[in-house]
Amino acid sequence: MSIDPVRQTMTGDLTGLNFAILDRLSNESKRRRHLKDQEAAGVDPKARPRTGMDINNRDEQVTDCRQYVESRGGRIVHIYDEEHTSAYKRRKIRQSDGSVIYRVIRPVYAAMLRDLAKGKAPNGERLDGAICPDLDRLTRDNRDLEDSIDTVVHHHRPIIDLSGALDLNTQNGQTNARVITAFKNAQSADTGRRVGRKHKALQREGIPTGGHRPFGWQDDKRTLHPVEAPLLRTAVAEILNGRAVTAVAADWNRRGIPTARGKLWRAVNLKAVLRNPRMAGYRMVTIANADEDNGETLSRHVITLKDEDGNPVMGQWERMISPADWDKLIAIIGETPQRGDGNNTRSHLATGTLRCGKGDCDTPLRATKAPPSAHKPEGFFWYTCLSKGQGGCGGVKVNGWETDEALMWLAIEMYQEQAAEREASAEPEPWQREGELTMVREDMAAAKAARKAGKITAERYYADLAEQEAAERALLKEKNATIKAAQVAADVPVTLEEDWTGGNLSLTEQRVYLERAFSAVIVAPTNGRRGVPTHHRLTPVPAQRG
């Protein structure tokens, strides 16, 4: 029997037709957070839904569309699933000639139209048409709608919805779809503006937001947690006195102290908590760094929200530590990740620190387990240079156990020498340029007031602002360096030797101390000599200290 997809869809008879389903949700962030919280609470994901958040709306769309098609004699051969995809938000795209255009990015939707044009589903079966719950799920962008119209008109493969009102094959139907899409697009724009105004108001008033509670505060995000807050304050005091963030995270994991979501701590997560302006009582705002070519978010960071006068906006919650202590903390842990601060999965102490010292090779050494033929003790290994085929020279090999022990003593001795130097030195002078920083900020506030009053032009205002902000950044950098020096930034406790030699430090903690002591350790070749002590072959390169 011959089939005519367009005619059959007009009559509602889908007998013998193969359809694909397009389901889509614009934003699934809330449900994803809910599922993570459920997982942390040990709730079985297959259990009967207890709230609306437990229901996957995309599954509901698929169920409704499948019933519609199958009840009319058709069959479903594929599902195009667009999870967490906006049909409205446009992203920047850089053209080959360097120009920029803005388009809605929907790879799944585009793939569906290509398959419809070819008449073949991804599984190889014939594809006669597509169904979506309604026009709103198909598109909210008129450019995308025109692509759908072209596919239907030129390839005679219909796109229908559950209401039966979607008709892209006739001029009247196309016109109706264009009008509805334009209204939906305007509706999305209006919603975006309302949401934006709401969030600005929340920020301005210092009202806490967010999907889950921050570590250290209770569920209301305002009151300090009776157990976690003291832990966090103690950790801050320890870090200000020289303890590594990674050491704190490892200690909390050993003691069974989980994150606010019930997970294990990593240094990067703990530093994110410590860097959050909420610690000092400031209202924060998240800034997204996007790829200039495609608009994709590369990273996010949290900064302090400022009011019109350039002053920090205070949040409506109990602060964890004073602003002065938070400034000192940021000066020590920095505003960006540093080498050795992350969750290091390497299983040997010196991997990533040792480098080949033969000629100008400088290749990082790797740990190599001794084979049975070497007749070495269980667990014995060497640090070796990569072969020439792998980018090294293959000319350096050193006993792993002896190297780790030598590096331990090198690090301990270096920290002890630094501690002695600090004790012998005079108390560092306080920062002397606080007045200059205050004047710069007063100039910025005055310029903003003059601009609002119409006394200076926009060109003059922004030119002056760029210079003032540059001066403020330079002064703050110098101030933080002075604070860091005043805090001494002692990277180790006084019991380091006892802790390390006594086996009280985890490998992660040992690696942090080593990597903060030395940026690299050069391993010299033996040049054919026998019996050269391992520690004589090691040349440490001290890490630069801010």
pLDDT at 118 > cutoff 50: yes
Q: What is the pLDDT of residue 51?
A: 59
Paired with 12 in beta bridges are: none
CATH number at 5-197: 3.40.50.1390
pLDDT at 269 > cutoff 60: yes
Residue 498 and residue 501: Cα distance in Å, rounded? 6
Asked: is 228-333 a CATH 3.40.50.620 domain? The reply is no
pLDDT at 338 > cutoff 80: no
Mean pLDDT across 367-384: 90
Complete DSSP assignment for 525-542:
--TT-SS--GGGGEEEEE
pLDDT at 340 > cutoff 60: no
Q: What is the pLDDT of residue 492?
A: 53
Mean pLDDT across 252-260: 91
Mean pLDDT across 137-148: 89
Quick: pLDDT tens for 30-47: 666 666 666 666 766 666
325: confidence class by pLDDT, cuts 50, 70, 90: confident
Q: What is the pLDDT of residue 344?
A: 45
Q: What is the pLDDT of residue 507?
A: 81
Q: What is the token pair recorded at 291? A: 């790829």
544: confidence class by pLDDT, cuts 50, 70, 90: low
Q: What is the pLDDT of residue 17?
A: 94
Q: What is the pLDDT of residue 117?
A: 94
Complete DSSP assignment for 412-449:
HHHHHHHHHHHHHSPPPPPPS-HHHHHHHHHHHHHHHH
- 9-13, 285-289, 512-516, 530-534: least confident range: 285-289
What are the extents of the domains in the chain?
Answer: 5-197, 228-333, 354-426+492-542, 434-478
Q: What is the pLDDT of residue 521?
A: 92
Amino acid letter for position 110:
A
153: confidence class by pLDDT, cuts 50, 70, 90: very high
Residue percentage of the chain with pLDDT more than 70: 80
Mean pLDDT across 45-57: 62
Q: What is the token pair recorded at 164? A: 């039966």
48/451: higher pLDDT? 451
Closest CA to 53 of 74, 38, 68, 73: 38
Mean pLDDT across 41-69: 75
Q: What is the pLDDT of residue 33?
A: 66
Residue 292 and residue 282: Cα distance in Å, rounded? 30
**Best-predicted range by mean pLDDT (174-183, 223-232, 351-360):** 223-232
Q: What is the pLDDT of residue 483?
A: 62
Residue reference for tokens 């694909």: 20
Mean pLDDT of the chain: 81
Collapse the DSSP code of 111 into the 3-class scheme (helix H, G, I; strand E, B; otherwise coil) and give the result: helix
Amino acid letter for position 46:
K
Do strands 100-104 and 90-94 pair parallel, antiparallel, or not at all (unpaired)? antiparallel
Look up the pTM and report it: 0.45
Amino acid letter for position 423:
E
164/197: higher pLDDT? 164
Quick: pLDDT tens for 387-430: 887 778 989 999 999 999 999 999 888 888 877 766 655 555 66
220/467: higher pLDDT? 220
Mean pLDDT across 370-393: 87
